[in-house]
Amino acid sequence: MHNDSIPVITIDGPGGSGKGTLSRLLAKRLGWHWLDSGAIYRLTAQAALRNGVDLGDIPALVQQARTLDASFGESADGEASVFLQGEDVTAQLRTEEAGEAASRIAACPEVRDALLQRQRDFRQAPGLVADGRDMGTVVFPDAALKLFLTASIEERAERRYKQLKAQGFDISIDALFREISARDERDMNRSVSPLRPAEDAVIIDSSAMSIDEMRQRALDLAREKGLVA
Ligand code: DC
């Protein structure tokens, strides 16, 4: 069941802008649900790769999107976890390879269409914080508060580098820089739902902000909208 009167905060922006961390913190603070829409694209791509589906085969991709057996939960230590057919695939989904495959299939309008309702179904009481590329423009255009996070490519590559390093991945910062630039290029220039701020979005450059400062700024804006006491 979904309900248009349930409040939504959207946080869009490129990879590494801090939107994932911020949206999760905000959802926790408000006691609202959280939608990591990037994970849905990553899962669809992962399911396709597992089932030997060519990433250029649109009807087969749409079928994967429609029948995606995904669930979201938390690991024992409270980390957000994503499951594909009951298997915890969180670590696999975080790789740049999974992001690249997700970005490729995300450029396909039929795949986006097939995933639209699945994303809207996350709108449940008491509220939803939705993180992605087109949350404010396409999926929840009536959101009560729309944020668009940006950060320089250098800063985003640095953040991803630290994140992946901490997870034990061995990757060069130059390779990350190139991958992030290529992914930005594709996400911003695709014809359907390109990455861009909604007209009524508040743009926040997070390059020089700590996560705590971002959280404070988002909470202040939510307070101004009467979404939090
Ligand atoms: O946020 P992320 O890095 O997990 O997203 C992975 C890819 O999925 C991203 O490169 C583009 C795509 N995506 C999208 O097109 N629309 C969304 N709402 C979220 C992600």
Token pair listed for 100:
């690249």
Identify whether 25 is part of a domain: yes
Under 8 Å between Cβ of 23 and 130:
yes
Place of tokens 């950060």: 151
36 bridge partner residues? 131
Atom of ligand 1 nearest to the CA of 134: 18
Q: What is the maximum span of the chain, computed from C-alpha positions, in angstroms?
A: 50
CA of 223 to the centre of ligand 1 (A): 28
Specify the residue with its C-alpha closest to ligand 1, atom 2: 38
| CATH code of the domain covering residue 60 | 3.40.50.300
Distance CA 171, CA 73 (A): 28
Q: Alpha helices, DSSP H only, in 2-55? A: 19-30, 37-50
- pLDDT, position 55: 94
Distance of CA 195 to the CA centre of its chain: 11
Distance between CA atoms of residues 178 and 10, nearest Å? 27
**Is 228 a member of any domain?**
no
Q: Report the distance separating Cα 135 and Cα 85, nearest Å.
A: 26
Predicted pLDDT of residue 2:
52
CA of 133 to the centre of ligand 1 (A): 6
Tell me the pTM.
0.91
Is the minimum distance from the CB of 134 to ligand 1 under 6 angstroms? yes
Residue 203 in any domain: the answer is yes
Find, among 13, 160, 174, 36, the residue nearest to 96 by Cα: 160
Q: Which domain holds residue 112?
A: 3-223
17 in any annotated domain: yes
229 within some domain: no
Whether the CB of 16 sits within 6 Å of ligand 1: no
Between the alpha carbon of residue 90 and those of residues 41, 57, 113, 133, 197, the distances in Å are 13, 25, 24, 20, 28
Cα separation of 2 and 118, whole Å? 11
Q: For every one of its 229 residues, what pLDDT tens digit does the chain have, with 9 covering 90 and above?
A: 457 899 999 999 998 899 999 999 999 999 999 999 999 999 999 999 999 999 999 999 999 999 999 998 887 777 889 999 999 999 899 888 888 899 999 999 999 999 999 999 999 999 999 999 999 999 999 999 999 999 999 999 998 898 888 888 888 999 989 989 998 888 888 888 888 999 999 999 999 999 999 999 999 999 999 998 7
pLDDT of residue 80: 84
Residue that the structure tokens 């220039």 belong to: 189
Total domains in the fold of the chain: 1
The answer to whether residue 146 sits within a structural domain is: yes
Q: For residues 133 and 12, is the Cβ–Cβ distance under 8 A? A: yes
Cβ 80 vs Cβ 24: under 8 Å: yes
Residue from 55, 95, 103 whose mutation best tests the ligand 1 pocket (most atoms within 8 A of CB): 103
Q: Phi and psi of 72, rounded to 5°?
A: -120, 140
Amino acid 97: pLDDT: 84
- H or E stretch covering 216: helix 211-224
